[in-house]
Amino acid sequence: MTLNLPYKILSAGLVAGAGFFIASPVLSLSTLADKIVANDTVDWSARVNTENLLPYSKAILEGQLKVKLFNDKQSGHFRSAYEDYNFALGSVDRQAKKLVTAKGFKHFVCGELARFPDLPAKADSGCWMMDASISWQSLTEVKATFVNPETQWQSVAVFKRLGLFNWQLDSVELPVEAMIARLDKQLKAAGSV
């Protein structure tokens, strides 16, 4: 059976459309990575749902401050522990906002919130380069898994489909327990010196 020209064109169009649809999350991630490298904030909110990410980044920062407060109190520095905690708590909103911008997003997705704005010595692979593995969850949701090359932490960014070929980063799942455990260990090591 041979297809007439109109059917060949339609078939080719459907195959091309399906291919572009399947590749569209990868293209969105690549565009997001380019925006991060260029610190381009022009259409950042169209590509990243910062309203969903902001409370999450704020909660993680507050959790890290509580771990520091607890360790400082264990060292017997009650007054200075609360003073430091209250002082740092005043800047959590500002820091959380920075982490969900193009400039801070690498730190956010790598789970290196306290390191911002400094990059590690080897920031040339994994999450620092926005390299991720993509897995389809449904026709409207894709997960991008990032690996921190230093700690081997895995972070997951969830992309939701907007329209036919457009995707927006909707949420991030960080390895919070591992992040808190490392911070606790570092604080205890610093307190015993």
State residue 177 phi and psi, 5-degree precision: -60, -45
Beta bridge pairs of residue 136: 142
Give the pLDDT confidence score for residue 43 in this predicted structure: 84
CB proximity list for 61: less than 8 A, separation 6 or greater: 92, 95, 96, 99, 113
Give the pLDDT confidence score for residue 129 in this predicted structure: 92
CB proximity list for 175: less than 8 A, separation 6 or greater: 111, 153, 154, 155
Q: Which candidate, 138, 189, 141, 157, places its Cα nearest to that of 32?
A: 157
Distances in Å between the Cα of 73 and the Cα atoms of 28, 69, 70, 76, 156 are: 46, 6, 5, 5, 34
Give the pLDDT confidence score for residue 20 in this predicted structure: 61
Please give the structure tokens belonging to residue 37.
């490298």
Q: pLDDT tens, position by position, for the chain (193 residues)?
A: 566 777 777 777 777 666 666 677 788 888 888 888 888 888 898 899 999 999 999 999 999 999 989 988 887 778 888 888 888 889 999 999 999 999 999 999 999 988 888 888 888 889 999 999 999 999 999 999 999 999 999 999 999 998 877 899 999 999 999 999 999 998 888 874 4
Give the pLDDT confidence score for residue 21 in this predicted structure: 62
Give the pLDDT confidence score for residue 193 in this predicted structure: 41
Distances in Å between the Cα of 56 and the Cα atoms of 32, 51, 97, 112, 171 are: 20, 9, 11, 14, 9
